[in-house]
Structure 1
Amino acid sequence: MATMPASELPADWIEHRRPDDREPMGWIRPDGDGWVAVSLLGRDLTGPVDWHAAEEALEDAGLRWMADVWTLERPEGGALRVRLVEVTPARVVVQTDDFGAIDVPVERFELPWPAPDRLRPRRDGDPDGTVLLAR
């Protein structure tokens, strides 16, 4: 999917909000005779499904993933442990994980939306921030 500014979100994408507090969960977009659930990161969560299944996919995904640790693979190699700071159809901002400390310097990265594949959920073997590398 190509990067697009918020003002250029397709007119046929329908915002889906959580029923209880109206928090945005993503979008549902048409695809042939079906519907595709799209996360706030701009990534497809389903292939073409019926409307109800698309809603369920967004609600099942929830928003918990936004608080998770992520990995940002650097173009020049290496990976960073990061947290999501801002996710909008205009941009995605992540920063190196500060582990909850207020005095730790962080590095911020502004990424295009939809989020590129180099931003991904943390996997086993990714940097965990507790291992010191020998120099």
Structure 2
Amino acid sequence: MLPADWIAHRRPEDREPVGWLRPEGEEWVAVSLLGRDLTGAVDWDVAEAALEEAGLSWMANVWMLERDDDEPLRVRLVEVTPGLVLVQTDDFGAIDVAVERFELPWPAPATLRPRRDDDPDGRVLFAG
């Protein structure tokens, strides 16, 4: 549940929500839709700019879900709300691929992270 003093911030051009401004003393912290701080305590304008710069493009990115018992799993965000982060295994754009979904808490845990260049890509082109 969102704290009552968090203020929703929407993109000016289409009013799409991109995060929140959380008070920190006399300053503000930009918080992403995943519930993660994007800035430290800064002026209101700086926090707003950070949210607008982050936008929503990150929602289309590949993410990695760290697992204790295996290598990281390549996933895509399906739904992000205060209270739920739903991800599924990356289907690489195919409509006929079975996917596995994982329900994560909100704010998103650190085990959900952006993909790095050295992560496995989840595809095997030639085996054997």
TM-score bracket, shorter-length normalisation = over 0.9
SS at match of 1:104: coil
**Identity in percent:** 76
**Which structure dedicates a bigger proportion of its chain to strand?**
2
1:94 aligns with 2:84: no
Query: How far apart, CA to CA, are the structure 2 residues paired with 1:11 and 1:76?
Result: 38
Partner Cα distance (2:108, 2:127) in 1: 32
Please list every run of 5 or more consecutive structure 1 residues that lacks an aligned counterpart in the other structure: 1-7
TM-score, structure 2 length as denominator?
0.95
Alignment of 1:1-135 (within 5 A): 8-131=1-124
Task: Report the TM-score, using the length of structure 1 for normalisation.
Answer: 0.90
Measure the CA separation in 2 of the matches of 1:29 and 1:80: 31
Higher relative contact order (Cα pairs below 8 Å, separated by 6+ residues): 1
Q: How big is the alpha-carbon RMSD for the aligned residues of Structure 1 and Structure 2?
A: 1.5
Report the secondary structure of 1:56's partner residue: helix
How many residues are paired up? 128
1:7-54 Cα distance to aligned partner (Å, 9 max, x none):
x31110000001111100000010011100000000000000000000
- What is aligned with 1:4? none
Unaligned stretches of 5+ in structure 2? none
